[in-house]
């Protein structure tokens, strides 16, 4: 009787561990996908910066993937200090938000890129 109880508890713990591992795999896959999407968007912005330079702007959209929908925000803002850099650079910030179980997760990349020549 006691051996059946021990076996039942052991099997329950193994099944629970399996479910926790699956949640971890799904979370990791979402993080990797978000990082790759943000990287692609930042690289496209860098190429645009090298070609023509950037002006201050703000865009938002929803990126739909087979697994999740990501809220994408891109903000390019003028910097004010130091003056020497403000003449040539803008700050670009890319953020992806998504719902993961019961909370909102996000990835943010920020960098300085060439400003459009006047």
Complete domains list, the chain, with CATH = 2-114 (3.30.1300.30)
Token pair, residue 26, equals 């799904």
Give all strands (DSSP E) within 1-118, no chain letters. 57-64, 69-78, 89-100, 103-114
Q: Which residues have CB under 8 Å from 70's CB, separation 6+?
A: 34, 37, 62, 63, 96, 97, 98
Distance in angstroms (rounded) separating the CA atoms of residues 32 and 65: 13
The whole-model pTM stands at 0.75
Average pLDDT over residues 52-81: 88
Average pLDDT over residues 24-36: 85
- Decide if pLDDT at 7 tops 80: no
- Decide if pLDDT at 80 tops 90: no
- Decide if pLDDT at 18 tops 90: no
Reported confidence tier of residue 118, pLDDT bands at 50, 70, 90: low
């Amino acid at each position: 009787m006691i051996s059946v109880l021990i076996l039942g508890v052991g099997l329950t713990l193994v099944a629970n561990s399996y479910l926790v591992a699956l949640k971890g795999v799904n979370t990791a896959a979402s993080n990797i996908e978000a990082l790759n999407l943000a990287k692609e968007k930042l690289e496209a912005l860098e190429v645009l910066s090298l070609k023509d330079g950037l002006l201050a702007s703000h865009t938002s959209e929803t990126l739909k993937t087979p697994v999740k929908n990501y809220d994408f925000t891109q903000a390019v803002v003028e910097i004010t200090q130091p003056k020497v850099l403000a003449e040539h650079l803008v700050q670009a910030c890319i953020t992806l938000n998504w719902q993961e179980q019961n909370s909102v997760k996000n990835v943010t990349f920020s960098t300085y890129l060439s400003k459009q020549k006047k």
